[in-house]
Amino acid sequence: MFGSNRNLALVVGARFISRLGGTAVWIVGTLGGAAYAFDATPSQLAAMSMVNAAAAIIGSLVAGMLIDRFGPRKVMVWAEIGSIPPVLWMMVAPSLPLFVAGSALFSLFGVPTWTAGASFAPFITSGREQLERANSFIETGSSIGFVLGPSVGALIETWFGIHSVFWVMAVASAIAAVLAWLTRIEEKPTGHEHGNAWANFTAGIRMAYTTRTLRYFILLGTAVWVGFGGFQALESLFYRDVVGVGVEWLGWMNTLFGLGLVTGAALLPRLPDAIVSARGLSVMAMLAGVGSILYVGSTDLGWIAPGAFAWGTAIGAMEPLLRTLVHLDSPHEYVGRIVGTLQWHRTAGELLPLAVVPALAVSLGIQQTLIAGGVLVVVLAIGSFGTARAIDRHRAGPVAEAVPESI
């Protein structure tokens, strides 16, 4: 499939190179730079993450509407180009507030590249099996970028200093924009309504929230990212203050996490067909919570490393599964806006814990707070099993779930 589908190969390549640059900049350049170059406190890191999350939510919602109007190709091209000036600014920003402003603009343009990439599969495939495999390929390419990004960032930081890391994203975005531009898909999805922008925007959100299956998929995905959110503020401090190692270890361990992402994404098409279900998604969400607990459950790098890989494997399988389920139950003309809603929920899930994790880190400890996030995900996933069973029974029936329905 990959070799015979030129468009899929180009999209995978674009997501690979874009995420390589984005991960190097975000993990080593942005989070690492704030903690090590500007000596940021937990509260400052949380505030930075909240500002970035707000920008990302705006970017994902606008991107979803633009994708349904113009197609994912144009959105990806222009979002990649728009990502270049902010990362170059962060390289020379003289103070933490100005550094945060640059990172917010980077999020505003960077997240739409994710939304566009996550929306491509229905435009370049047909049928459930092809859709699942395409999402797996795209996620695998993206995950390989995640594997290499932290290592590239760590090497650049070691050789040339932390400010040089931002050049990686500038070059990667330019290459990704060219690859996306070379794809050939229908630019404007058929059936898209031509009303005003606000009506189109609200129609997509209403479809996502009033369709029972879509609502479940989106909310369960949000629960997983709530558990992940505390790492935005505390992961770099976990390595600095709890484990007691340098910033390069943040890069090396996230590379292992990325290897897990690749493994999980590649594994998904080889799992039983029954995994492509609400129950399958709930199991993957539970495993994601367990994986995060394993990751931060020890201060010994020998235990942290396999924990990072296990967590990445669970997330790597869950992400393309979640995306495939959303694509299957989304009307074609609403794909961009529903994926945009999924993306902003992901960002919001990462944002919500930032209101409490600095205080929890002070009262409970950094490590204990991160473990608590994983426990929360496990509890929420297990609690959703009953709903997942009911949804699967309905999806297996003669009536498709691609219409709004309340529960």
Give the DSSP letter string of 240-293: IIII---THHHHHHHHHHHHHHHHHHHHGGGS-GGGSSHHHHHHHHHHHHHHHH
Question: Any idea what DSSP says for residue 184?
Answer: -
Nearest to 30 by CA among 85, 93, 79: 93
Average pLDDT taken over every residue of the chain:
83
pLDDT higher than 70, residue 14: yes
pLDDT in tens, 147-200: 788 778 878 888 887 778 888 889 999 999 999 999 987 665 544 455 555 666
Dihedral sign for Cα atoms in the order 388, 393, 399, 405: negative
CA distance 398 to 393: 10
Strand (E) or helix (H) holding 358: helix 357-363
CA distance 294 to 271: 23
Domains annotated for the chain, with CATH where assigned, are 6-395 (1.20.1250.20)
pLDDT in tens, 314-358: 999 998 899 889 988 888 778 888 888 888 888 778 778 877 887
pTM for the structure as a whole: 0.76
User: CB of 60 within 8 A of CB of 340?
Assistant: yes
CA distance 100 to 388: 40
pLDDT higher than 50, residue 402: no
Which residue in this structure is represented by tokens 């900049």?
25
Q: What are the CA-CA distances from residue 54 to residues 79, 140, 284 (Å)? A: 17, 27, 27
Q: Name the token pair of 279.
A: 């129950």
Per-residue pLDDT at 84: 93
CA distance 348 to 306: 28
CA distance 213 to 394: 9
